[in-house]
Amino acid sequence: MSRHLCRRVGAQLTRQNNFSAARRAYSSPAATTFNWQDPLSAKSLLTEDEIAISETAERYCQEQLLPRLEEGYRNEVYDKIQLEEMGQLGLLGATIKGYGCAGVSSVAGGLITKAVERVDSGYRSGMSVQSSLVMGGINEFGSEEQKQRFLPAMAQGKLLGAFGLTEPNHGSDPGSLETVAVEHPTKKGYYNLSGAKTWITNSPIADVLLVWAKVADPSKGLAADGTPKKVIRGFLVERKNCPAGTLETPAIKNKLGLRASITGMIQLDNCPVPVENMFPDVQGLRGPFSCLNQARYGIAMGVIGALEDCISRARTYALDRKQFRGNPLAKYQLIQKKLADAATDAAFGTLAAIQVGRLKDAGGEAAAGLPDMISMIKRQNCDRALQGARTLQEIFGGNAVSDEYGIGRHVANLFVAQTYEGQSDIHSLILGRSITGVQAFA
Amino acid sequence: MSRHLCRRVGAQLTRQNNFSAARRAYSSPAATTFNWQDPLSAKSLLTEDEIAISETAERYCQEQLLPRLEEGYRNEVYDKIQLEEMGQLGLLGATIKGYGCAGVSSVAGGLITKAVERVDSGYRSGMSVQSSLVMGGINEFGSEEQKQRFLPAMAQGKLLGAFGLTEPNHGSDPGSLETVAVEHPTKKGYYNLSGAKTWITNSPIADVLLVWAKVADPSKGLAADGTPKKVIRGFLVERKNCPAGTLETPAIKNKLGLRASITGMIQLDNCPVPVENMFPDVQGLRGPFSCLNQARYGIAMGVIGALEDCISRARTYALDRKQFRGNPLAKYQLIQKKLADAATDAAFGTLAAIQVGRLKDAGGEAAAGLPDMISMIKRQNCDRALQGARTLQEIFGGNAVSDEYGIGRHVANLFVAQTYEGQSDIHSLILGRSITGVQAFA
Amino acid sequence: MSRHLCRRVGAQLTRQNNFSAARRAYSSPAATTFNWQDPLSAKSLLTEDEIAISETAERYCQEQLLPRLEEGYRNEVYDKIQLEEMGQLGLLGATIKGYGCAGVSSVAGGLITKAVERVDSGYRSGMSVQSSLVMGGINEFGSEEQKQRFLPAMAQGKLLGAFGLTEPNHGSDPGSLETVAVEHPTKKGYYNLSGAKTWITNSPIADVLLVWAKVADPSKGLAADGTPKKVIRGFLVERKNCPAGTLETPAIKNKLGLRASITGMIQLDNCPVPVENMFPDVQGLRGPFSCLNQARYGIAMGVIGALEDCISRARTYALDRKQFRGNPLAKYQLIQKKLADAATDAAFGTLAAIQVGRLKDAGGEAAAGLPDMISMIKRQNCDRALQGARTLQEIFGGNAVSDEYGIGRHVANLFVAQTYEGQSDIHSLILGRSITGVQAFA
Amino acid sequence: MSRHLCRRVGAQLTRQNNFSAARRAYSSPAATTFNWQDPLSAKSLLTEDEIAISETAERYCQEQLLPRLEEGYRNEVYDKIQLEEMGQLGLLGATIKGYGCAGVSSVAGGLITKAVERVDSGYRSGMSVQSSLVMGGINEFGSEEQKQRFLPAMAQGKLLGAFGLTEPNHGSDPGSLETVAVEHPTKKGYYNLSGAKTWITNSPIADVLLVWAKVADPSKGLAADGTPKKVIRGFLVERKNCPAGTLETPAIKNKLGLRASITGMIQLDNCPVPVENMFPDVQGLRGPFSCLNQARYGIAMGVIGALEDCISRARTYALDRKQFRGNPLAKYQLIQKKLADAATDAAFGTLAAIQVGRLKDAGGEAAAGLPDMISMIKRQNCDRALQGARTLQEIFGGNAVSDEYGIGRHVANLFVAQTYEGQSDIHSLILGRSITGVQAFA
């Protein structure tokens, strides 16, 4: 299956252009020396398929995505064609088995996100939403009919998704969400959705929006106010079927990070959705949390790509830039320590992410406690990638302010990666609860 | 003198608009409680004049500058009218005695920068260049004729300045600058300047550019290549007198910080400058370093203004935002620690800056080691302001990415403040040298 | 008054030995250079009296205390003669007016603690308990008769005190203390005290123990269990009057820090105390908290003395020790940064402590919020002193393990200073509460 | 082979005492929950043999070593019987193949050090010197005769070793060592060794001391002073053969860390050593550096054991200790964050150490850059273990000062682990050199 993906990727790229050898992606240093790009030889833990997938993803990202980035980041322009390209290469929903998806390992899926995030966290965010949050959600909780209806087109990047959980007043605490779905007063088999979601990656361009809303469930008894208790359910809102005025997805502009991705709101005003578009079984926070878990794994691996790009850029700058008696910056102890720290965090973070991917795929007892494991690597890798990027930024001095060096962009992006899908402190409390058995959220 | 300034400031503002009471600026809390805006009562160390200057500067900044900021930062628009306004209020070159300047204390000068930087570090940068780097330089090193020719108009903001020291290949190590001034081949009493300067705040709008260049000085003997040794001298390049093609000052766009200021290059190609525009006596790095010292003092006080604005914004957000069982974020320990840390750094940093201002004005033996003292407070206050802003940014979660909350802007700005006019590590080595007597630059 | 103290100090020392000029204590560097021992010229903020007191205290500490330290720390030996010596010099309870005390400023009092803690935090702890916690408590809350009975002998170091608040199960939360005082069943005018206190500095050698206990107060109504509510009151337990078996004060040995101080428990078993030995008015936590506040101020200034000693030792080591091509360690960037960081924290912390001392003495509105101010400087100076000491410890490499270099001892001591009289996190929450108006303790 | 070890270990322990089930060592939590003791399931990467070795080593350490620790640490007492016990269990030189050694994997060897260091870093140091520095050195560089003569007795703990590299004036820079070996003036086939070594673990009890000294090598040409150049060679000094007065190994007392190990000097005064006791081939720093590399691997794994013990102790304390409204400390956010941070570092560090162990055993191209990899994990794991231990220490408040809680001991020990066998900054510069290709040592 993944072999197939590789062939597709390779063929595709060959058709597209004549590129020189990929600039990076596990290029071999001389065999007897330390490889600063992979200090602890994470590559030795990968299968041949995974290496091939990683290399082709890296190649696509460096050859195709990187050239578009400067314009995209400066002007907050996101060209959705790139999702279609990724789809053609088999990179979307790649860990899903069947439904036109590649069915690769979790680690391979992570290496794809790493390749994309080496270019830009915004591009990776756009892909993560499609692959993990929406396709992953449908694959795990959708009915067979839903899977067949949505997944193949999404895998090709022809149908785009968005994930509507966060609301203006409810970020870290989604259990308090206020969006509701009520039975349509006249149209049988339909729910009317009303509410607002915000900070939704891809919402302005999405064709299908996975919206989490509360639905009255009389079987749960009555709430304090005498009405039936409500449960959280997932709805696949198809834009093409929404009557005018019931769905708006305005873009949020002037962002201070992830400017190369597109972000918006979802505003629902009695938007009718057929019951066939509701996830059949999953109730409560288990649904969205499981989707987030998939995505968080990708982030944990992805941010290391951004950090590695910062290391590479900073190293090059430090070797090229001469200050004081003609020495390169690389000659100075304070500079070397910054590089050593960042390289260590990248190496350790990669190993941890690979390990969790292996346990995830092993499943069963091996994967016991998986959500906590993912909290641990999402938190740590985001924290360390952000810290590393900030420290490396200092090497550039005033030049860091110029967007051509790329470092300031990574710093701004990684702050967002640290805060979304579980802000760092929230993950600290998740871990603290699991370590102690006592919750400290409130 | 400063009384006079206050009256001018007050009258000016009253003419301009009917404002409500200033939102901040040492507003009194109930007398028996801790004042989170001034935890260690720095106000008790100020004279009445200084308090009055601070309050009027704060008022102007909050009333006049703040409303322009969003547009300015988003679109990298800088309206030089604000320098004229500041000039009308007596805020430019305010510590200079005579020549139409207010002649206030160094602490009062610092409080002005703090008021401006509470709004935006970019606005403060524009003012610092005018007040400290250029006016300060002319006041210290200019001939009496130069002072009279330039300072009064600059104090009014009608003549704008820029400071040309940093070159593309020489940031932290200005001693290696490559711009040269050679005697004009035909025009007696003129030098031809050639070279390039970069990251020059205000250069695109400046009328007079203080350019540091190397000039052959036969009295110093010969260099290794047989030509006379060169010394660094300062030249006041007046744009209006530069023949076409000899001076270009292109703006640098798409900056990742200080977007509300204007920054550019200075490109000199055999630009003729009369010897009357050269500083008469100062030679070597003492000239530019002395100017930088003035500016660094302003930065040390100014960045605390930005940090205090972050604290105020984060505190408000933490009180307004509810998560988990309806508690405000302010109820959570991890949030409170962030606020406590930042408030402490702001309070300590303010006291240190006041102390150094006092020693500066006392002069003589009291000011022994002043450049090192300024290195210490510039480094520490920039480092802590940046660190504090970043930590407080986490309180906003995903909302930090929206520019309406202002926090991300301060974070991006403060990185620049940390790196310009002596990157943090450079100041560490300056201090290390003074502590140990051994230099470790190279 | 403080003049008198100085004379006494001077005369005393001259009698004791022929010392060379004090090695430190604001020794003048060449006037034109940076003074690494006082980078921001805190000395310029002191009165002549304060300088004189500081110098004589430093001299006593370096000449008399330092030589005893190695033995004391190694073997946990504390010679109470040193309190008597300090008393002879007027250093005990020095800020108290009258009752044989020197009546110096709070800043002068702080400089005394700084001089002692430059030698060892344990020695300073022993003095703080005597001066601030017990004498300070008696001065603030004692009856006139109690003051006259205890203070003069305590000021001379002939009567030693201990402060019994912390209990084995109640550290950060003293409001839950369990020690009780009940009316003596037969002896009129007596209370029987029962309970246990732990981590009590000086308890094994104390003559008078200020014990905080709960007493039934019928005027407060009934508690949930039907008994009268209880209030916290302070009792001066005089060891010489305690019947055998009613008071035990075993020493705690094998401590990992503050080994040069003596620490113990207080075990009370129906220990009879006359009502004349109870503080007449103060009730609740206001009593002990006010005493702690006095002591915390001394700690905030004192720990800077320890940090300064670390800087001095590390600087000397770095200049003397040669590694790699014969360079002193001081030549290396990573070393210089450690020194610069620590020197900055010492300088900033000193200024903040002086400022709070001035506000404390000014009283009235100036001292509004004083307990929070003291929380701020106690927390920050302890945190930074500990951090600085740990970082400087790295300069010594393996030699840091040898007690002759003194650095490891300071590290171990400063951890205790950070944790006692309000652990750092507790002060964060005190500050957070004052900044936000919301408590987050529980 | 390792099977054999396990049997031996098991039999030995059964004979020794009736122990309850080991308290820890990969005990299974409920299968469906997060295992705070092994958050990322490092156990899943181990072979059955490795798990068995780890469990038996943990059992021995907890049952036999832990009870001796308090006395040993307090009084600096080291009972060399424990090395004999370890030898009987096959734990010494365990990764060596043949010569009576167990021949287990590098990871298994690391798990043994982790088990010992979970008890105390000093105990682990004593073992590391025997196993890695001396036995490892003999195994790698010794002649066949030397191996047969020394290794079997050392494996049984009947012959104890010490490693003499560091000199009083040469710590981080061993290339400058001053100990010399000169041909004996009269005794053919003998060298006379003279010089001093310090901070030598086990030296006072060692039977054989591996001493690195400089020997004239005429084949290398002449030095600047006209004498033949010298090369570093390794000598196995047997105490029993040293004439009186030629070898002294005084113990260093009053250490501030690693007090449960024994440390001393080696003083050589024309000590005659036969040429048969010199390593036959290895010259220069390659010899000692290779030995250090072995030991550093053990440290990288070992310190995680100490960190895990800190986590376990802090977690227990946080659950048992109640403060404020009867809540356990574990209920507070600031406490949970400390635990989460430390657990993450332990988990990441374990995975990295396992990975490097696998590459080490794979050898060949897989192990390219191995010394740098070991620098990376030694530095990071020591830094993070020390940082984690210090942060967790705060949870104990004042009780941390009592040695019964064990936390302060780990803090003091881990500082030493961070500094010996390559101080953290030195490893930063080793890594910086490998990343940039430029050295910044001097």
Distance to chain D for C131, nearest Cα, Å: 21
What pLDDT sits at residue B405? 95
| Alpha-carbon span A340 to A388, nearest angstrom | 10
Distance to chain C for D318, nearest Cα, Å: 13
What pLDDT sits at residue B173? 85
For residue C423, list chain B residues with Cβ-Cβ distance below 8 A: none
- Active-site residue A421, yes or no? yes
For residue B337, list chain D residues with Cβ-Cβ distance below 8 A: 334
What pLDDT sits at residue B4? 53
**D206, D239 Cβ separation under 8 angstroms:** yes
Q: Which residue do the tokens 């008769």 mark?
A: C145
Q: What is the DSSP letter of C22?
A: P
Return the number of CB contacts < 8 Å for C and D. 122
**B287, B279 Cβ separation under 8 angstroms:** yes
| 3 state DSSP class of A409 | helix
| Predicted confidence (pLDDT) at residue B115 exceeds the cutoff of 50 | yes
Instruction: Please give the share of chain A, as a percent, with pLDDT higher than 90.
Output: 85
Q: Give residue-wise pLDDT tens across range C93-143.
A: 999 999 999 999 999 999 999 999 999 999 999 999 999 999 999 999 999
| 3 state DSSP class of C299 | helix
User: Stretch C153-176: mean pLDDT, rounded?
Assistant: 93
Phi-psi region of D363 (alpha: psi -120 to 50; beta: other; left: phi over 0): left
What pLDDT sits at residue A323? 86
| Predicted confidence (pLDDT) at residue C13 exceeds the cutoff of 80 | no
Dihedral Cα D195, D198, D204, D206, nearest 10 deg: -70
- H/E run at residue D290: helix D286-320
| Predicted confidence (pLDDT) at residue B9 exceeds the cutoff of 60 | no
| Alpha-carbon span B308 to B389, nearest angstrom | 9
Identify the closest residue of chain D to A356 by CA–CA distance.
D40
* DSSP per-residue codes, A170-208: BSS-GGG---EEEE-SSSTTEEEEEEEEEEEETGGG-SE
ipTM for this model: 0.92
User: Which of C199, C331, C334 lies closest to D425 in CB terms?
Assistant: C334
| Predicted confidence (pLDDT) at residue B32 exceeds the cutoff of 70 | no
* CA A197 and chain centroid, separation: 18
Picking from A365, B181, A307, A118, the residue whose alpha carbon sits closest to that of residue D34 is A365
Count the alpha carbons within 13 Å of A392 in the hemisphere toward its beta carbon: 33
Total residue length of chain D = 442
Q: What six digits make up the tokens of C234?
A: 């302070």
Q: Give residue-wise pLDDT tens across range D258-271.
A: 999 999 999 999 99
| Residues paired with residue B201 on neighbouring β-strands, in sequence order | B263
What pLDDT sits at residue C20? 37
Q: Which residue do the tokens 């057929």 mark?
A: A274
Q: Give residue-wise pLDDT tens across range C236-250.
A: 999 999 999 999 999
What pLDDT sits at residue D7? 47
- Site from A327, A334, A394, A441 to mutate, C interface, most C CB atoms within 10 angstroms: A334
Total residue length of chain A = 442
For residue A423, list chain B residues with Cβ-Cβ distance below 8 A: 394, 397
| Alpha-carbon span A81 to A164, nearest angstrom | 22
Catalytic residue (one of D58, D76, D238, D421): D421
| Alpha-carbon span D411 to D415, nearest angstrom | 6
The answer to whether the Cβ–Cβ distance between A39 and D376 falls below 8 Å is yes
The answer to whether the Cβ–Cβ distance between D337 and B334 falls below 8 Å is yes
The answer to whether the Cβ–Cβ distance between D334 and B332 falls below 8 Å is no
User: Stretch B407-430: mean pLDDT, rounded?
Assistant: 95
In the chain, the amino acid numbered A442 is A
Distance to chain A for C333, nearest Cα, Å: 6
- H/E run at residue D338: helix D333-362
Q: What is the DSSP letter of A25?
A: S
| Predicted confidence (pLDDT) at residue C23 exceeds the cutoff of 70 | no
Q: Give residue-wise pLDDT tens across range D232-288.
A: 999 999 999 999 999 999 999 999 999 999 999 999 999 999 999 999 999 999 999
* CA A254 and chain centroid, separation: 21
| Alpha-carbon span B345 to B298, nearest angstrom | 17
| Predicted confidence (pLDDT) at residue B285 exceeds the cutoff of 90 | yes
User: Stretch B122-146: mean pLDDT, rounded?
Assistant: 97
Vertex D395 angle, CA D392 and D397, to 5°: 125
| Residues paired with residue A164 on neighbouring β-strands, in sequence order | A211
Instruction: Please give the share of chain D, as a percent, with pLDDT higher than 70.
Output: 93
User: Stretch C158-185: mean pLDDT, rounded?
Assistant: 93
Count the alpha carbons within 13 Å of D413 in the hemisphere toward its beta carbon: 32
For residue C334, list chain A residues with Cβ-Cβ distance below 8 A: 333-334, 337
| 3 state DSSP class of B28 | coil
**Predicted confidence band of residue B323 (pLDDT cuts 50, 70, 90):** confident
| Alpha-carbon span B48 to B38, nearest angstrom | 17
| 3 state DSSP class of C49 | helix
**D333, A18 Cβ separation under 8 angstroms:** no
Dihedral Cα B206, B208, B209, B214, nearest 10 deg: 160
| Predicted confidence (pLDDT) at residue D419 exceeds the cutoff of 80 | yes
Dihedral Cα D385, D389, D391, D396, nearest 10 deg: 170
Return the number of CB contacts < 8 Å for B and C. 205
Vertex B229 angle, CA B226 and B233, to 5°: 150
Least trusted range by pLDDT, from A198-212, A314-328, A335-349: A314-328
Picking from D50, D370, D47, D435, the residue whose alpha carbon sits closest to that of residue A41 is D370
| Predicted confidence (pLDDT) at residue B365 exceeds the cutoff of 70 | yes
Q: What six digits make up the tokens of C388?
A: 């600085």
| Predicted confidence (pLDDT) at residue C4 exceeds the cutoff of 80 | no
Chain C adjacent subunits, 3+ CB pairs under 8 A: A, B, D
The average confidence (pLDDT) of chain B is 92
Q: Taking the CB of residue A293, how many other CB atoms lie within 10 A of it? A: 21
Distance to chain D for A381, nearest Cα, Å: 10
The answer to whether the Cβ–Cβ distance between D394 and C419 falls below 8 Å is yes
Q: DSSP H helical segments within A47-120, as ranges? A: 48-60, 66-75, 81-88, 106-119
Q: Give residue-wise pLDDT tens across range A343-382.
A: 999 999 999 999 999 999 999 889 989 999 999 999 999 9
Q: Give residue-wise pLDDT tens across range A117-171.
A: 999 999 999 999 999 999 999 999 999 999 999 999 999 999 999 999 999 988 7
Identify the closest residue of chain C to A338 by CA–CA distance.
C334
What pLDDT sits at residue C218? 86
Q: What six digits make up the tokens of C9?
A: 């100090």
What pLDDT sits at residue A24? 39
Please identify every residue of C annotated as catalytic: 421
| Predicted confidence (pLDDT) at residue C16 exceeds the cutoff of 80 | no
**Predicted confidence band of residue C25 (pLDDT cuts 50, 70, 90):** very low
**C402, D252 Cβ separation under 8 angstroms:** yes
**D297, D356 Cβ separation under 8 angstroms:** yes
For residue A397, list chain B residues with Cβ-Cβ distance below 8 A: 171-172, 419, 423
| Predicted confidence (pLDDT) at residue D30 exceeds the cutoff of 70 | no
Vertex C152 angle, CA C148 and C158, to 5°: 130
CB-based contacts of B95: which residues, under 8 Å, 6+ apart? B101, B102, B103, B104, B105, B106, B108, B109, B131, B136
For residue C363, list chain B residues with Cβ-Cβ distance below 8 A: none
Distance to chain A for C441, nearest Cα, Å: 12
**C213, C233 Cβ separation under 8 angstroms:** yes
**Predicted confidence band of residue A4 (pLDDT cuts 50, 70, 90):** low
| Predicted confidence (pLDDT) at residue A7 exceeds the cutoff of 80 | no
Characterize the bridge pairing of strands A230-238 and A208-216. antiparallel
| Alpha-carbon span D244 to D236, nearest angstrom | 17
